[in-house]
Amino acid sequence: MATKKRTASKPKLLSGGNPQIPKADGDAPVQAYIDAMPGWKHGAGRDLDSLIERTVPRVRKAVRWNSPFYGIEGQGWFLSYHCFDRYIKVTFLNGSSLSPPPPVESKHEQVRYFHIHEDDRVKGDEQLESWIRQASELPGDDLF
């Protein structure tokens, strides 16, 4: 009797090309998400993850609701991101407390967004690095 060879399947891409990754803690699920990000978003996701790690060396990672989350142990989550058709939406959970606040408002008073588009540069973006640093120093959100 022949046995079926199992192969690892790629994650399903949801609306906007957002990878469907099961809820889990740690770097591995975040890397699985980044690996599944389509097209130019893959490189931007790698750059964003590296920037967060460099800026916040003690960062904690997880995937929740098909999005990577970044936080500080004991402080909660401060940032997440999600793929859409034309951009990556970076969510600063306490973004209204950042100076200057990220440009895109939310229906949630504290939340602010920053959109990364195909031609945007993540590496070397001093404002993005500043927002990440500031956000990591604020109390985060543990609801996720």
Q: pTM for this structure? A: 0.89
* Domain-wise residue ranges, the chain: 16-136
CATH of domain 16-136: 3.90.1150.200
Angle of the 27-36 helix axis to the 40-55 helix axis, nearest 10? 150
Which tens digit of pLDDT belongs to each residue from 31-78? 999 999 999 999 999 999 999 999 999 999 999 999 999 999 999 999
Amino acid (1-letter code) at residue 29: P
Q: Which of 70, 88, 72 is nearest to 80 (CA)?
A: 70
pLDDT for residue 9: 65
CA distance 40 to 52: 19
Q: Which of 102, 52, 116, 129 is nearest to 93 (CA)?
A: 102
Which tens digit of pLDDT belongs to each residue from 78-126? 999 999 999 999 999 999 999 999 999 999 999 999 999 999 989 888 9
Amino acid (1-letter code) at residue 121: R
**Two tokens, residue 78:** 């401060």
